[in-house]
Every structure is written in C-alpha cells, then in structure tokens.
Amino acid sequence: MAGESPGMVERTEKGVEAAEGAEEAQETARAETAPLTNRPAPPPSAAKTAARRRLKVWSPLVLLLAVLLGTVQLLRPLPDPQFVVAGDGAYTFTGDAFAMPWPGEGQAAAEVVGVGSLGTYGERKPVPTASVAKVMTAYVILKGHPLGTGEEGDRITIDATAAKEAGAQEESRVEVSEGQSYTLFQMLQMLLIPSGNNIARQLARWDAGSEEAFVKKMNEAARELGMDDTTYTDPSGLEASTVSTAADQVELAREVMKNDVLRKIVRMPNADVPGLPGRIYNNNDDLLIGNPGGLGIKTGSSGPAGGALMWAAKRTIEGKERLIIGATMAQRQAGSNDANAHLKVVKERSYKMIEAVQDALVPATVVRKGDVVGHVDDGLGGRTPVVATRDLRAVGWGGLKAKLELTGGGKGVPHEAKAGTEVGALAVGTGPGRAQVPVALQRDMASPGAGARLTRLG
C-alpha cells in the first residue's frame, strides 16, 4: 500500500506469526488430549491449510510491494514549485474612472504600452486603411533590410514606373525622376512623411521583384502579428480592398514603435531630401508640433476610407517615458467628399483622445517594500510567503484594474532556499515594459520531507 511505512509492515508480519503460533498451540493441545478421549486429533481443515499457505506466500510479497512503493514515492521527482499571488491578483488605481473621449463614429482602439488597453470603440469590422497601409510597407521593408541608428542603407534607383507615377494628380506622390538614386532611409522618409504612393510601389518592386509578391509578404507579416482582420492588396493603401481594423492597427503600431529608425522618421514634421525639388512635409505635423509628446505615426484619407490615423504619443512620469498608441479609422466630415476634410476630422478626434490619456496618467505605489505579495506552493502542502524587496511604482488611470503577476524571471523557482533569497519578481501591467520589482522569501523554504513525499497523491 502506497501509504504504509516499513514499521507498519513489520507489525503486520508479527501479527501473522502470532496468529499462526496460537493455532499451532491449539492443535498441539488437541493432540495431547486425544488419548484421553480415545479419539485422534482432527486434521487441519483444507480452508485453514490453504489460508496458511496463502499467508506464507503473500506476506513477503506484500512487504516487498510496500517497500517498493515507498521507495518509488521517495525517489519521484518533486513537482515544480508555483507562485500564487496574494488576494485577487490585481491593483485598482484610485480616483474617478477615466472616460475616453471616443470619436462618436467609425472605430478606434488605444493602449498604454506596458500598462494595459484603454479599450476599443465601434464595430470591429475591416474598413479601408488608405495610406495607413504604408506603415506595414515600411515594417516589411525593414524586416528584410534592417537599418541601425544613423545608417542610410542601400541605394535604390528610381525606375520608369515610379517616375511616371510621380505625375499622377489624383493621388499622393513624390516628384522623382527615372535614374535618380536614394538611400533606403531617404526612401522611407518619402514613403512616410509626404506619403508617396509611387515610392511605396517602388520599394515593393525593389524588395520582392513585384508588387504582388510584396503584398504577399505584407499579409504574412499581418498574420504573424495576429492581425486576423487585415488584408492588404497593395503596398500604398490606395485600393479600397486594402482593409483592416483599429484594433489590428494598434498591434502593428506597438511593433513599429520598437524600431528606432521608424520611430525617428514618423515623428519628423518635415525633411529635406537631396534630389527632391523641395522640402517634404508631414500631414501629421500639427500633432508633432502642437503636442510636446506627439510621436506620429501615419495619416490616411480617401473617399472609401474617410479619415484614418495610426498615432503615438508619450508622457514622461517620474523620469520614465510612457508610450501611448492608438488607431482611429472611418472618420468623415458630414456632407463632404473631400479626403482632406475627412483627414482634418480624424486628426481632431484623435488628438482629443491623446491629450485625455496624457492628462489621465498618474503614478501609484502598488506594493511597498516588505509587503507579502504571495507565496510559493511546493505542490505537497508547503507554502512559503514572498515579500517585495522594494516599493513597486506603476502608472495607470482612475479605475484601471491592473493585473499583478509573480514570475520566476526565467530561472525557475527553487525547491529550497534561505529567507531573503530573491526567487522571482512581481510585475504589474501587461506586455513589455511593465513595472516590476524582485521578490524574496520571507522565511526559510525547506524541501518537502519524507512524510509528505510518501503520502503524496497523483
């Protein structure tokens, strides 16, 4: 039996021997008194004989089995210790609940990176992106041709198609001529600042050999980022069949803002590129100039799309930059077919959201040094409290219920350690950049003893 100890087995064996001795004494007594009664002692019954034999055969086997099971229990690997967060595993920021000034039509989504989602607005259905699609074009280009800070990259020669498209009056384009060459960094400036459709298509042909092959790469990148409601059919976004959602574009914005080169370009209100007839200007320059924390990212507007904007901003709190990202789509100036009027509307509505979030962010002490923030469960009934080694400061907004999580820091939790040993970290928020502090054992943590190992189930 899995729960028997060697001592219990020994007592069982002695009991069996005592029973056998008593039965033999009774038979001896009957044999001795048989002459007095002129009757022979009755032989042992077949059942008793069989029982005796079974007892003699099975007793050693039971003993052996108990020893084997006990040994197995003692030698089995211990379960991995697990962290358990104290309370409900969350911290709620005090103050009035923050209310995002959503646009009132279309759709929008926003988050503070490392803190959490600010929510979404409107129906999550794919709508035309217009030139916001160029963000994915730039992302795919730099995946295949990464640039370091300060690097210009390969030189790209303008082909006849891009030069011809430079004269198209019905779309956004950059005035380039066949045979000119520009660095990759300069091409990305022309793509993202004045939003050149001809530059988007030129980059696609340069990277993948054809626009069709490049579009395939754009859609593959979208799937990798979890942008399941997004479909790209062209690299510029001019086609109304290039569609996405605000929530999907936030996924892309988060990745784009990790890239130093793209982050540098999208926050440029203007730029001088040698070889162009004049300075190029950003359609988002009023955010970049008017809001000290404005970071871009990309505007878009057309009849089918209305006004669209992928945006980013920051606010520095306690010396640390907090990144705010969002996307606003399908915004329209009522009664107008003018793409520029739609663009004006989406910028005004997005800037209100940006400023509201910047104003709403507040710091808070989530836990204090020495607070018990959870425990280590050894899986066999043992629990050892863990404490924060310093104050955990985080940023949020009124009413935000921020998730708390204990992690092992990639090293795993030990089975035993002394009090004060750092065994992991307590984090608050979501995603990269969330705030965290180390946690340590409040008292010595001992490995499970023999009793716990022998009686473990499962």
- Contact (Cβ atoms closer than 8 angstroms) between residue 222 and residue 136: yes
- Contact (Cβ atoms closer than 8 angstroms) between residue 347 and residue 368: no
Q: Is the pLDDT of residue 12 over 60?
A: no
Cβ neighbours of residue 441 closer than 8 Å, sequence gap 6 or more: 376, 384, 385, 386, 417, 418, 419, 420, 421, 423
Report which residue type is found at 404. Answer: L
C-alpha to C-alpha distance for 245 and 263, rounded to whole angstroms: 22
List pLDDT tens digits, range 184-217: 999 999 999 999 999 999 999 999 999 999 999 9
Count of other CB atoms within 10 angstroms of residue 285: 16
Q: What letter would DSSP give residue 120? A: E
Q: Catalytic positions, please?
A: 131, 134, 195
- Contact (Cβ atoms closer than 8 angstroms) between residue 317 and residue 357: no
Q: E strands of 389-431, at which residues?
A: 392-396, 401-407, 422-428
Q: How confident is the model at residue 453 (pLDDT cuts 50, 70, 90)?
A: low
Q: What letter would DSSP give residue 284? A: T
Strands 280-281 and 270-271: antiparallel
Query: What per-residue string of b and e applies to 41-62 under the rule 16 or more CB within 10 Å gives b?
Result: beeeeeeeeeebeeeeeeeeeb
Inter-axis angle of helices 211-224 and 134-144, nearest 10: 90
C-alpha angle 370-372-374 in degrees, rounded to nearest 5: 145
Q: E strands of 93-137, at which residues?
A: 107-112, 116-121, 127-128
C-alpha to C-alpha distance for 362 and 394, rounded to whole angstroms: 8
Torsion of CA 399, 322, 402, 94, to 10 degrees: -30
Describe the strand order of the beta sheet including 435-441 as a list of residue ranges: 82-85, 372-377, 383-388, 435-441, 422-428, 401-407, 90-92
pLDDT score, position 7: 47
Q: Is the pLDDT of residue 22 over 60?
A: no
C-alpha to C-alpha distance for 386 and 367, rounded to whole angstroms: 13
Least confident of 22-31, 257-266, 321-330, 434-443: 22-31
Q: What letter would DSSP give residue 231? A: B
Higher confidence at residue 162 or residue 45?
A: 162
Cβ neighbours of residue 88 closer than 8 Å, sequence gap 6 or more: none
Least confident of 26-30, 174-178, 179-183: 26-30
Q: Residue 177 has which token pair?
A: 């001529």
Q: Taking residues 158-166, what's their average pLDDT?
A: 96
Residue bearing tokens 């956004």: 172
